[in-house]
């Protein structure tokens, strides 16, 4: 298998067990190893007290893209930390897309950026995640 095929096999293995992402209707694309795109449509049960998508669910979408990007190498990796800047609200019905890419990958630590955009290509949030590897295989 080439690196993209390994990345996609890792994603399939993760998705099969990921009840949380499925419950939120999140779909995943793996363009290549180290990148992931996660999609989510803002539903009625995702809206908070200010009539906009709960910021935690925006984070969850970004965090999901991050998890699939950093688990592309058949090396079990988890999110160790993340920060997010909320730039503009996401509204009921918005179709969100989180694009994760790798900024740095060392033997244990990885650093990733996730851009979260709506269907009008406006930036909704900017996310930076740090991953840590366990040194175990994923597949």
**Contact residues for a copy of itself, defined by CB under 8 A:** 13-23, 44-51, 53-57, 59-64, 67, 76, 78-87, 103-104, 106, 109, 111, 113, 123, 126, 128, 130
Nearer Cβ to a copy of itself, position 33 or 62? 62
The distance of closest approach from Cβ of residue 78 to a copy of itself in the complex, given in angstroms and rounded to an integer, is 7
Nearer Cβ to a copy of itself, position 5 or 12? 12
Name the E strands within 1-139: 27-29, 35-41, 77-86, 95-105, 109-117, 123-133
The distance of closest approach from Cβ of residue 106 to a copy of itself in the complex, given in angstroms and rounded to an integer, is 7
Beta carbons within 8 Å of 60's beta carbon, 6+ residues apart = 20, 24
Chain-centroid distance, C-alpha 130: 12
- 8 A C-beta contact, residue 60 and residue 43: no
The distance of closest approach from Cβ of residue 31 to a copy of itself in the complex, given in angstroms and rounded to an integer, is 19
Neighbours of 104 (CB within 10 A): 9
For 45, the 3-state DSSP assignment is: helix
Nearer Cβ to a copy of itself, position 33 or 64? 64
The distance of closest approach from Cβ of residue 47 to a copy of itself in the complex, given in angstroms and rounded to an integer, is 5
The distance of closest approach from Cβ of residue 98 to a copy of itself in the complex, given in angstroms and rounded to an integer, is 11
Nearer Cβ to a copy of itself, position 22 or 137? 22
Closest CA to 69 of 122, 22, 8: 8
């Amino acid at each position: 298998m080439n690196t993209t095929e390994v990345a996609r096999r890792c994603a399939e293995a993760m998705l099969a067990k990921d009840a949380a992402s499925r419950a939120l209707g999140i779909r995943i694309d793996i363009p290549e190893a180290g990148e992931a795109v996660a999609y989510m449509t803002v539903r009625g049960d995702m809206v908070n007290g200010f009539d906009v998508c709960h910021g935690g669910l925006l984070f969850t979408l970004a965090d999901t893209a991050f998890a699939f990007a950093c688990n592309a190498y058949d090396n079990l990796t988890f999110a160790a930390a993340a920060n997010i800047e909320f730039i503009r609200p996401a509204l009921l019905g918005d179709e969100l897309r989180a694009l994760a890419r790798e900024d740095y990958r060392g033997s244990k630590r990885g650093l990733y950026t996730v851009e979260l955009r709506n269907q009008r290509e406006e930036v909704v949030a900017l996310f930076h995640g740090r991953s840590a590897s366990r040194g175990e295989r994923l597949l």
